[in-house]
Amino acid sequence: MLFLALTSARPAAPAATEQEIVAARDPEDRSGCFEFASVDLDGDGTQEVLVLARDPRWCGTGGCTVMIFARSGKTLVERSFIPLVGRISVGLHRTRRWSDLVVENRYGSWLLVFDGTSYPVNPTIAPARKLSGTVAAGARLSWAKASTCR
């Protein structure tokens, strides 16, 4: 039931802080493990927040879930929800002003391109593209764990 509610087409309510993201995304007990990284994906000088859910409820055999939030004033608004992530890095190229993302999981490496609204919701099918060989990444992401991580 929790999974269905979180993957609905309805966007999450805006949050002001990473702690509010945890509360909104893990309302039952707020004990899930979330990691946070900040990077300017859209080139506007303001950093977006990437939230990596590292908790059995958010992870499966293909990887874990990443959510991307853009800042709008003092709030964070969800822009993308990407399951099946092992590792994620920021690519060197931009599409529609947003940096491309490279997702690695048990199925390979995948290029995710921003479509003007969000990144592909599934990194293993079109419009995501499977990559072959070594992929050069741009910014390295520095992840910080939420206090709820054990």
Strand partners, 35: 52, 145
Predicted TM-score of the model (pTM): 0.78
**3-state percent helix, strand, coil for the chain, nearest multiple of 5:** 10, 40, 50
Residues counted in the chain? 150
In this structure, what are the phi and psi dihedrals at residue 66, rounded to the nearest 5 degrees?
-115, 135
Strands 34-39 and 64-72: unpaired
Q: How far apart are CA 15 and CA 126, in angstroms?
A: 30
pLDDT tens digits for the chain (150 residues)? 222 222 333 344 445 566 666 666 655 655 678 888 989 999 999 989 998 888 787 888 778 889 999 888 878 888 998 988 888 889 889 999 999 999 888 888 899 999 999 999 888 889 999 988 766 666 668 888 876 676
Q: How far apart are CA 78 and CA 60, in angstroms?
A: 22
> Could you tell me if 149 and 26 are in contact, meaning their C-beta atoms sit under 8 angstroms apart?
no
